[in-house]
Amino acid sequence: MSPDNAIADFEAARRRQLRRQWLKSGAGLLIASLLLAAAFHQSQFFTADIGGDPARRILDFLTRLVPDLRGEVLFRGTDTPGSLSAWFYDLPRWLDAIRETVEMAALATVFGAIGATLASFLCARNLMPWAPVRFVVRRALEVIRTLPDLVLALILVAAFGAGPTAGVIALTVSTVGSLGKLFAEINEEVDPRQLEALDAAGAGLLTRIRFGLIPQVLPNYASYSLLRLEGNVAAAGALGIVGAGGIGLELQRAITYTEFSTYLAILLLLVSVIFVIDLTSEAIRHRLILSQDREP
Partner 1 sequence: MSVMSAQTRPVTRNWGLVRGILWTALGLAAVVAMIMDLGLSPKGMAAGFGKLGQFLAAMVPPSDGGDFSRILAALIETLAMALAGTCLGVLAAIPLGIIGAKNVVRNPVFHFIYRRGLDIFRGVPALVWALIFVAAFGLGPFGGVLALAAADIPSLSKLFAEALENGDPGPVEGVRAAGVSPLLELRFGLAPQMAPIMASQCLYFLESNFRNAAVLGIVGAGGIGFELEERIRVFAFDQVAFIILLYIVAVSLLDTASAWLRRTLR
Of positions 34, 59, 68, 161, contacts partner 1 by CB under 8 A: 161
Instruction: Select from 86-94, 180-188, 196-204, 254-262 the region that touches partner 1 (CB under 8 A).
Output: 254-262
From residue 35, alpha-carbon distances to 22, 26, 40 in Å are: 20, 14, 9
294 is a site residue for partner 1 (CB under 8 A): no
Q: Least distance (Å) from partner 1 to the CB of residue 7?
A: 23
10 is a site residue for partner 1 (CB under 8 A): no
155 is a site residue for partner 1 (CB under 8 A): yes
Number of helical (H) and strand (E) elements in the chain, helices listed first = 12, 0
Non-local CB neighbours of 186 within 8 Å, separated by 6+ positions: 120, 217, 220, 221, 224
Q: Least distance (Å) from partner 1 to the CB of residue 219?
A: 14
Q: Spell 264-285 as b/e; 16+ CB within 10 A means b.
A: bbbeebbeebbeebbeebeeeb
81 is a site residue for partner 1 (CB under 8 A): no
Residue 45 or 130 with smaller CB distance to partner 1: 45
Amino acid 166 reads: A
Helix (H) or strand (E) holding 259: none
Of positions 6, 15, 29, 61, contacts partner 1 by CB under 8 A: 61
148 is a site residue for partner 1 (CB under 8 A): yes
Residue 124 or 274 with smaller CB distance to partner 1: 274
Q: Spell 113-140 as b/e; 16+ CB within 10 A means b.
A: bebbbebbbbbbeebbeeeeebeebbeb
Q: Least distance (Å) from partner 1 to the CB of residue 114?
A: 10
Residue 118's nearest CA partner among 209, 223, 219 is 209
Burial of 174 (0-12, 13-18, 19+ CB in 10 A): buried
Residue 153 or 198 with smaller CB distance to partner 1: 153
269 is a site residue for partner 1 (CB under 8 A): no
Of positions 73, 95, 154, 190, contacts partner 1 by CB under 8 A: 154
Q: What is the DSSP string of 159-189?
A: HH-SSHHHHHHHHHHHHHHHHHHHHHHHHHT
Query: Cα 195 to the chain's mean position, in Å?
Result: 34
> CA-CA distance, 80 to 177, in Å (whole number)?
49
Residue 74 or 106 with smaller CB distance to partner 1: 106
242 is a site residue for partner 1 (CB under 8 A): yes
Amino acid 10 reads: F
Of positions 226, 245, 265, 285, contacts partner 1 by CB under 8 A: 245
What is the binding site for partner 1 (CB under 8 A)?
35-36, 38-45, 48-51, 57, 61, 64-65, 99-100, 103-104, 106-107, 110, 143, 146-148, 150-151, 154-156, 158-161, 163-166, 168-169, 230-231, 233-235, 237-238, 241-242, 245, 248, 251-252, 255, 258, 260, 263, 267, 270-272, 274-275, 278
